[in-house]
Structures are given as structure tokens and as C-alpha cells.
Amino acid sequence: MKRFHPMALLARALGWMIGVAALTLVLASGLAMRLDNAFYDLHMRHWSYRPGDAVAIVAIDPKSLSTLGNWPWPRATHARLLDRLSEAGARAVGMDITMAEPDLRHPENDQVLAQAMRRNGRVLMPVFPEAADLGGTLEEMLPTPQLASAAAAFGHVDAAKDEDGVVRGAYLRAGLGSPYWPALALAVRDFGLRGEQAHDPPSLHRSTVDSASPYQWLRDDYVMLHFAGPAGSFDQVSYVDVLEGRVPPALLKDRWVLIGATAAGLGDLLDTSASGGSERMPGVEYQANLLESIRSDSTLSPLNFSGQLLLGAALLAFPFLLYGLPGFRSAWVVALVALAACFLASAGLLREARYWWPPTGCAVVILACAGVLRLLQGAKRRG
């Protein structure tokens, strides 16, 4: 076995330390973020799964709009739907529908809906940030007081878009001045457990939110989602079919039910890591993916900065240990093996341990080290 000269070992140790310093700068600057996102999205598009039958979407779809008329519908219509879900024995109901203003034309409908919510006892409503005026101060938009008093609980519906506009995860908590509202999907999961022990999945927690402005919408406890697939991957039943009794109650019994818009032009449409540029995902299906991931303990947790640096430093040591061994006397051969190790480690950690480690920063440093080593070898031969 080859034995290294002490000076050679010192040179490798120095090279590794320089590499770790370079990796620290790359991670802190976010230079490799786009490449990491591209790798993550490519991976997720080939890692779909078939969700179980615990979560169902009652879709405000084109068929329902054609039958019931233009949106918004009378709130008495939502009351009839909730009564259908109560009769079917739905475990919990999340209404991803904005009702921040009272029905001034038919105020009695608000009372009818509130009564239906109380009869059900398991209806959760959304919270979201919005400025009353353009450029004004953000406010927490809740349902009208009459409806809010009848809701079992509330949850925020703020989609966690990355800088490129793609949704890869969710914040489990958010709120104005402090992240105290749970995500709607998390609140629905907790309420539907019916006394069973609830626990939050592993998440990336921020320690700086306590010092932020009380007028700022703050988000915390970030998780990444294992999307079931592109839009349409979850069981959906048409709103109007449920309303008119065409859906057998057995299909909804003991299921977590989310009500929301899937028709174009209503509600949010999101680009996700699973879409690959195909059809955008309705906000209610985003909530369904989050609910299923939390319910089945399949959320993905991003490593914090320290964890990313620690794993990256370990992988950077690999090429310095490998170089010079039989079959590994070429800097580029060593670099290719180390690059493969980076991406395999990232994919393996994601699939087996459900932790996300972005690999391209480490890959860039490995390539830079190989290039420098190659230049030094060329200069040595010329000398």
C-alpha cells in the first residue's frame, strides 16, 4: 500500500481546508442554489407515489360551475355541502375558500352557513395576509366574525414559493408579527386525529423571527414536500356531485376532506417541483399534498447551514484521500468519482433518511480543486 510523505499529507490537508473554506463561501452566497433546485426538481419528477385514501378533495371544478352558476356561490350552498359531509362522516373538513367579507345581499346565508359549521363541528377555515390598500400595511384576513365564531380552528394558506416562483415545500407556521398560525393542512390533520397524539414533522426552524417587525408576515418551521405527482394525483370528487348526493357516503367516511377550487381562474395555481413545466397545481391540491405528507410522516427536512457544511466537508475529504491510489492517479478520474459520490449521497439521504442536502456547491468546489491540481501537475512537468 502506498505511503504518503508527511509533506504530501500536509499539502492534502491544506487543500482540504481551502476547499472547505470555498464551500463555506458558496453555501453562504447561494451561488449554487439554481443548480441545486434543478437537481431537486429533476429528482422529484421521478419520485412520485400513489397517495392513500385518507385525503379527498371536494373540487370546485368546471362541472360544478356549469351547474351551479358563476362564482361566488351563495353561502347557503356551502351549508348544504357541509351537511352532506356531516352525514357522510368526514373526519375533518378544511375549507380553502375566502370568506372575509359578509354577504351583504343575503346576510341570512352567513347565519345558515355558520349553523351548518356548528352542526359539523369539524370545519377549519383559512387565514392569509393581505393589504387593504396597495402598498398598505398587511392584515390577517380571517372569515367574517359570524363564520369565524363557528369554525373549529384556523390555518394559514400561504404557499411557500422559492425565489424562482416554484413551490418545493411549506411553512408549518406563519402569522403577522409571530408565526403562530399552523398551516391549514397541519390544523386539519391535528383536528382529525380525535385525541390521538399529534407531533410536528422535523423542520427547518429559524431563530431570528422573534426580533422581526410586528407588522411583518413571518413564516417558520419549513419542510419540503414529497409531492405525490403533478396536478391531479389526488382523489377528487366534484362539488356538485357531493351536493346532489351522487357521491356514495362511504367514499367520504372517515376521510380528511379539503374543499377548494380546481377550475382555472379560481384560486391559486402553483408551479411545483413535481410539475416539470406541466399543468400548474391548484392551491387546494398543494394543501392535500402537505396534509398527506404530514399524516404519513413523509415530509422532507432540509439540512441547516451547519449540517450542509459538515456533510460537504466530509465529501470533500474523499477525493484528497482517493487521489494517488492505484487507478486514481488522474485528477479528473478522482473528480468524476467524487462528483458521483456527491449526487448519490444527496439522493440517498433524500430517499432513505428524508433529509435534503444540496450537492452542487460541493460539486463545484471539487471541480475547482481538480482544475487547480491539473494546472499544478502541468506546471511541474514543464518545470
pLDDT tens readout for residues 13-45: 888 899 999 999 999 999 999 999 999 999 999
> Of residues 277 and 202, which shows the higher confidence score?
202
> Of residues 225 and 133, which shows the higher confidence score?
225
**pLDDT class of 5 with cuts at 50, 70, 90:** low
- The predicted structure's pLDDT at residue 267: 78
Average pLDDT over residues 121-148: 87
Q: What confidence tens digit (pLDDT) does each residue in 163-188 have?
A: 999 999 999 999 998 899 999 999 99
- The predicted structure's pLDDT at residue 207: 62
DSSP assignments along 129-197, one per residue: EEESSTT--EEEE---HHHHTT-SEEEE---EE-TTSEEEEEEEEEEESS--EEBHHHHHHHHHTTTS-
What does the alpha-carbon distance between residue 297 and residue 294 come to, in Å, rounded to a whole number?
5
Q: Is the pLDDT of residue 228 over 70?
A: yes
Give residue limits of the domains in the chain.
6-31+303-382, 55-295
> Of residues 290 and 379, which shows the higher confidence score?
290
- Identity of residue 114: A
To the question of pTM greater than 0.85 for the whole model, the response is yes
- The predicted structure's pLDDT at residue 211: 58
User: Which DSSP symbol is given to 47?
Assistant: -
Q: Is the pLDDT of residue 1 over 50?
A: no
The proportion of the chain whose per-residue pLDDT surpasses 70, expressed as a percent, equals: 91
Cell of 227: 409531492
Helix (H) or strand (E) holding 33: helix 33-45
Q: What confidence tens digit (pLDDT) does each residue in 339-379 have?
A: 999 999 999 999 999 999 999 999 999 988 877 766 655 55
Q: Produce one character per residue of 306-321: b if its CB has 16 or more CB atoms within 10 Å, e if not.
A: eebbebbbebbbbbbe
